[in-house]
Amino acid sequence: MSARLLEVSGVWKGFDDHAVLRGLDLQVDAHQAVVLIGASGSGKSTLLRCINGLESVDAGRIVLDGDVEVTDPDIDLDLVRRRVGIVFQSYNLFPHMSVIDNITLAPRKVAGVRAAQAQEEARALLDRFGLAGKADEYPDRLSGGQAQRVAIVRALAMQPELMLFDEITSALDPLLVGEVLDAVRELKSGGLTIVMATHEMGFAREVADRVCFLHDGIVREQGSPEQIFTDPQEPTTREFLARVFG
Amino acid sequence: MTMTPPAPGAPVVYQDPVRLALSRRRARRNAWVGMGSLVGFTVVISLLVSRSPGWPIVQETFFSREEFIDSFPGLLTAFMLNVKIFLIAEPLILIFSLVIALTRTLRSPIFLPLRVLATLYVDIFRGVPTILVIFLLGFGVPALRLQGVPNSPVFWGTAALVLSYTAYVAEVFRAGIGSVHPSQRMAARSLGLSVLQTNRYVVLPQAIRNVIPPLLNDFISLQKDTALVAVLGPIEVLRQAQIDASSTFNYTPYVGAALIFIALTIPMTRFADWVQARMARRQRAGSIA
């Protein structure tokens, strides 16, 4: 059994008078790929943002690597974020910087890596994800699939222990989804720990070690992809899957 | 001459030569019609004006050739003072207003006094007419007869312009900072950048780029408002024109001064238009970012 990397226990999070997370529990072991599924508004994005410290929780604890408590009000969140990468649905590349500068900004300014070394590492990563010729392009010259892969490389350049993907293919042309999912496959085979919110059920089934179905702000049901997709126990899970697969 | 169209799917741009000729002809005709209409309009207006009974006296009072030749070199020399005021004021305004705008975005409670001060400053100096600030500083401060404080009207006039314009330009910068999408800040923070680093490397470069057109607009406005310093007495271009005009009761020097300002502001305005158009094009090209 590998080590527990992420422990989410009893997390509540509301916006105004609407509760999005309602005492959610989730455990992720190192080198696991956990896929979150569920309807829009079920709390997938909110959960990922809480894990990264982009949102503060109302109650509960999120512990990273057994010792770093993300939800501790006094913690230096910049330190947490160095260890946890996140990629968003809308890429959020910096439009005024070239691809290589987008990628090397955080390693240089946050991790203190020398410029030459950061560039070398960035180019190696670009190469690995089929973006070798794009280092000096600006984001507005990239296709959606390329932009999203650059966003993945940018998060990866900080060498995170845990990678969060927040519906990273939802904004893409269907023809471009494949290349981004290939990038995730590549990361998974490299042994990176991944928590991914997605609507790509086929991909979830193929890549996930565990699938978690979120409903009403908790993990309503979880299990192997095989079990969730072929033999769901909860009526809400069945209903959701029936709607997704039409 | 006949041309065979390229095969369907060929990687070329192709337009039917007949259609091409037609659209070229149409464009040429439109150009001639526009030109003709403009010339005709100008001729009619100038005839109407020059034939009107009051024209000779208007011409003599405002557009006298001799007066113009006599006064123009002096006006140009005096205008150098306006240029000097502008060149000193503008960089100071840019620096101070950026500092004020950034101060207003600080969120930590310890900075509350600074934030209140910055807000008060902007509220006050945006509300008070620039010329009033010039009177207040230019006449008021020298009247205090303080040791070691300059008495020069140019100094206090420039200071007043800086105070007044900094308030405006700070608001332009603040709008620029607000125009950067929150997801950019979030992306930067998620990579571990601190608030300061996020501002410096991600938010400000985009904010400044977004406000270049309105900034140029304020530059143009400041160029003209250097003439307000005339009320304090230094011989800048408006004051020089006033002196010339009052000795001859001919107002051509004012027109000469106006021409000098226009000669400077029209290129600036066109430049601002060009920047704006270029940015609009880039924005369309980069709409996914």
Q: Report the CATH number at residue B156.
A: 1.10.3720.10
How many domains, chain A?
1
| CB burial of residue B54 (10 Å; 0-12, 13-18, 19+) | exposed
B147 lies in a domain? yes
Helices (H), chain A: 44-51, 77-83, 99-109, 115-128, 144-156, 174-189, 201-207, 225-230, 235-244
Q: Smallest Cβ distance to B289: which of A93, A105, A155? A: A93
**Chain B residues touching residue A110 (CB < 8 angstroms):** 191-193, 197
Q: Extract the tokens encoding A118.
A: 């950061």
B279 lies in a domain? no
- Contact map slice: B 183-212 vs A, CB within 8 A: 183-184, 186-194, 197, 201-202, 205-206, 209
B13 lies in a domain? no
Summarize pLDDT for A47-91 with one digit per residue, the tens: 999 999 999 999 999 999 888 888 888 888 888 898 999 999 999
B289 lies in a domain? no
Interface residue A94 vs chain B (CB under 8 A): yes
* pLDDT score recorded for residue B286: 47
How many domains, chain B?
1
B76 lies in a domain? no
State yes or no: pLDDT of A214 exceeds 70.
yes
Parent domain of A145: 4-244
Parent domain of B185: 82-234
ipTM for the assembly = 0.90
**Chain B residues touching residue A79 (CB < 8 angstroms):** 192
Q: Which of A212, A204, A201, A85 is CA-nearest to residue A151? A: A85
Give percent of chain A above pLDDT 90. Answer: 76
**Can you give the pTM of this predicted structure?**
0.80
pLDDT along chain B (289 residues), means of 10: 75 87 94 96 93 88 87 90 94 95 88 93 94 92 83 91 96 94 94 92 92 89 92 87 88 92 89 81 53
State yes or no: pLDDT of A2 exceeds 80.
no
B277 lies in a domain? no
B258 lies in a domain? no
CATH of the domain at A42: 3.40.50.300
N- to C-terminal Cα separation, chain A: 38
Q: A78, B192 in Cβ contact below 8 A?
A: yes
